[in-house]
Every structure is written in structure tokens, then in C-alpha cells.
């Protein structure tokens, strides 16, 4: 398993914490970026109440390497945006397949995929390409650049922290490592 999270950038953390205090402020110049009990309570408000909206302003950008299986599940989160990603569609016949699969892909399947790749690279026939593309197992790993925010990560964490796929548990451990994650996300 090659779950990798790199090139992490966090934007507007202090500014969004300060802004969380605006609804009750008479003088916004007195608002600061201290994490108070009120800020924690807002962050931990139940889904749908919108009191945690300020978490949407804490933006996170990162590169993530995940399996095809995990990517399919990640796409359900509306506020995780793909900036750019590796492409199976364009590069499946060019990858070193032995390096792209996680440890759960059976070696026999990798051998079959190498055969399909070799066949396509010789024939360049669309049918051979489609056999290669559609035979690719879920343990194929790709990297993408993503952007999201703390509010979305709060939802991901609550839904995936005990997930069956080890990728999700690793991703949630990364969420735990973000600044003020205990106070604002988990």
C-alpha cells in the first residue's frame, strides 16, 4: 500500500477562526484567532446546523496517492476538488505496472496486465486497448493534486475513520495531524 500525502498547504486557518467569531461580535476588530470553547463548539456542531461553516474557509491543498477503489469512494465528497491527476485513460500502456499496484493485487493478475499492455503496445488496436483499460484492478494506484477544506475533512473523518479499506484509515490519521484537527475536525 502506497498511500502518500505530500506537498500539503493550509490556507486561511487563523483568518477563518477569527471570522467564526463575527456572528456574535459587536466590534470585529476585537475578534482574534484564539481557539476558544465557543470556536470548538461551533466546529463540533452537528451536520446540517451550519454553525461549522467557518471551517469551509480553512482550505487545504495536497497530493494524494490512492488506489482506484479509494478514488471511487473519494469522489462522493462534493467539496474535494481534483486539481490534476495521473491518467489511466492516457497512460495505462506507458506505466511500469509492477510499481502501480498495491500489495493486495495478485501477482498473476499483474502478469496478465503486463501481457495485455504488451499486446496493445504492439498492435495499437482499440479492442486491445479496451481490454487493457477495463481489466485494470482496483489496487491500481494513482496520484492527484486535491483541494478541500476543514469542513469537508470533518465529514470524511467521521465517515471513514474506521473504514475497512486501510487507505481510509491512513488518510484519517493524516487528518488527525493537521493543525488544530482535534479542536476543529475530530
Residues of the chain with pLDDT under 70: 1
For 9, the grid coordinates are 498547504
Q: Could you read off the pLDDT of 152-165 as tens digits, one per residue?
A: 999 999 999 999 99
What residues form DSSP beta bridges with 18? none
Q: Could you read off the pLDDT of 120-150 as tens digits, one per residue?
A: 999 999 999 999 999 999 999 999 999 999 9
pLDDT of residue 75: 85
Q: How far apart are CA 56 and CA 13, in angstroms?
A: 10
For 107, the grid coordinates are 501477482
What is the reported pTM?
0.89
pLDDT of residue 1: 61
Q: How far apart are CA 67 and CA 89, in angstroms?
A: 15
Amino acid at each position: 500500500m502506497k498511500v502518500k500525502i505530500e506537498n500539503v498547504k493550509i490556507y486561511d486557518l487563523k483568518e477563518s477562526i477569527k471570522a467564526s467569531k463575527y456572528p456574535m461580535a459587536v466590534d470585529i476588530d476585537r475578534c482574534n484567532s484564539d481557539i476558544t470553547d465557543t470556536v470548538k463548539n461551533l466546529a463540533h456542531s452537528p451536520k446540517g446546523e451550519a454553525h461549522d461553516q467557518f471551517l469551509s474557509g480553512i482550505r487545504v491543498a495536497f497530493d494524494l496517492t490512492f488506489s482506484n477503489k479509494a478514488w471511487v469512494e473519494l469522489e462522493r465528497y462534493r467539496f474535494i476538488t481534483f486539481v490534476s491527476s495521473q491518467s489511466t485513460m492516457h497512460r495505462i500502456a506507458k506505466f511500469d505496472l509492477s510499481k502501480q499496484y498495491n500489495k493486495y493485487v495478485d501477482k498473476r493478475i499483474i502478469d496478465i496486465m503486463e501481457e495485455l499492455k504488451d499486446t496493445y503496445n504492439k498492435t495499437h488496436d482499440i479492442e486491445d486497448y479496451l481490454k487493457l483499460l477495463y481489466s485494470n484492478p482496483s489496487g491500481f494506484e494513482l496520484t492527484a493534486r486535491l483541494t478541500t477544506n476543514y469542513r469537508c475533512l470533518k465529514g470524511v473523518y467521521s465517515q471513514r475513520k474506521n473504514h475497512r479499506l486501510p487507505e481510509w484509515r491512513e488518510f484519517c490519521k493524516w487528518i488527525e495531524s493537521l493543525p488544530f484537527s482535534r479542536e476543529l475536525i475530530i
